[in-house]
Amino acid sequence: MKGMLAVLLSIALTAICWGVYGPVLHEGQHGMGAMINGQHVSSMWRPFTCVGLAYFVIAVVVPAVLLRSRGEAGKWTVTGTIWSLAAGVAGALGALGIIMAFKNQGNPIYVMPLVFGGAPVVNTFFTMYLNRSYKEAGPLFFAGLILVVTGAVVVLVFKPGSARASAELTPTQLMQVASWVTVTALSWGVYGPVLHKGQTAMQGSRLRPLVCVGLAYFLIAVILPLSVMAATPEPGTWTNISGTAWSLAGGAAGAIGALGIILAFNFGGKPVYVMPLVFGGAPVVNTLTTMLTKGNFNSVNPVFYAGLIIVAVGAVTVLIFAPKGGHKPAPAPTPPPEPVAAH
């Protein structure tokens, strides 16, 4: 019971951090933008770089210091390093997808619920593929999964100010937002199972996989964007303290959320239900955070709250009826050879 409580607290940590991630990053992206011909253009590569820098500090520097000074159970392995780096690549590509969706006028209040509605579907089927556990998934598990997705869609349709936000998008922008949302849902959907394999291969280590995630972010979200901006400058500024601070805060939220995932796995949680619970709780936090910053609580449709309840009910159903992926029975011991009779 104590182990499950630790898993749920770790899931809550990630849901909160990833729930505020979108609105915070959106503020930073806007603040680091520039006015061109009387129209504000949001920055793309600068906030992405800030996300990578925050990950580098929280997911590389701090764990490296702790590993050197205190040590930790587990060990570095080639397989674990590869899987953990792959998880970091998936996370960074997902972060880029969010930024690109915002760049094309997407709004956190519906972009993030769409991501968090699609990612658990990808996560669940990818996990079952890795574990070959399709046959263990019962109808109630799939019903819970459908509830999570349905609730996310209801939150999207009946979100405060939804008509105004949708009217701002041209068909081209709508297609681009949908495409980048899909990229993020796919990337973040495989993130948990891949990270779990890395952590398992490192014998349950918590800090080593986190370091690998941070290194992948540093490569994709710092080295890459700085190289692109050196070759092709983009509109925007580094001097907007507010925009930089918001972008760094978005990266910090993402990195702390990644640590929460690792802790959940370390306490015995499984990707097949840890990630759907995270993706079930995060859109609720995201939407409430967006509503709080925009001050539009008074324009909420009651069906919107019903959608939040559906997400919560679906997440609990997924937790209870998730495939457990039990261990295969150990092979029967081989009987000792019969003694050879002496002649």
Extract the runs of DSSP E, i.e. beta strands, from 23-80.
34-36, 39-41
Residue 53 lies in a domain: yes
Residue 147 lies in a domain: no
Q: How far is CA 94 from CA 182, 186, 240, 284, 308, in A?
A: 9, 8, 25, 19, 24
Q: How far is CA 213 from CA 92, 129, 163, 179, 290, in A?
A: 9, 23, 38, 24, 28
Q: Report d(CA 107, CA 111) in Å as an integer.
A: 6
The residues pairing with 35 across neighbouring beta strands, listed in sequence order, are: 40
Residue 42 lies in a domain: yes
Span 244-290, pLDDT tens digits: 999 999 999 999 999 999 899 888 888 778 887 888 788 788 878 87
Q: Across residues 46-72, what is the average pLDDT? A: 93
Q: Across residues 305-325, what is the average pLDDT? A: 76
- Listing DSSP states for 149-214 in one string gives HHHHHHHHHT-TTHHHHHHT--HHHHHHHHHHHHHHHHHHHHHHHHHHHHHHHTTT-SHHHHHHHH
Q: At residue 311, what are phi and psi to the nearest 5 degrees?
A: -60, -45
pTM for this prediction: 0.80
Span 214-242, pLDDT tens digits: 999 999 999 999 999 999 988 888 988 99
Token code pair at residue 338: 């019969």
Rg of the Cα atoms in the chain: 22
Residue 278 lies in a domain: no
Residue 318 lies in a domain: no
Residue 153 lies in a domain: no
| Segments forming the whole domain that contains residue 71 | 2-138+169-273
**The CA-based dihedral angle spanning residues 10, 12, 13, 17, taken in that order and rounded to the nearest 10 degrees:** 140
Q: Across residues 6-34, what is the average pLDDT? A: 91
Q: Report d(CA 246, CA 250) in Å as an integer.
A: 6
Instruction: Pick the closest to residue 60 from 213, 202, 179, 249 (CA basis).
Output: 213
Span 27-50, pLDDT tens digits: 999 899 888 877 888 889 999 999
Residue of higher predicted confidence among 302 and 215: 215
> How many domains, the chain?
1
Q: Which residues contact 249 (CB under 8 A, 6 or more apart)?
A: 24, 28, 54
Q: Count Cα atoms within 13 angstroms, Cβ side, for 88.
A: 30
Q: Indicate the burial class of 245 (C-beta count within 10 angstroms; 0-12, 13-18, 19 or more).
A: middle
Token code pair at residue 225: 């964007």
Tell me which amino acid residue 175 is.
M
Residue 116 lies in a domain: yes
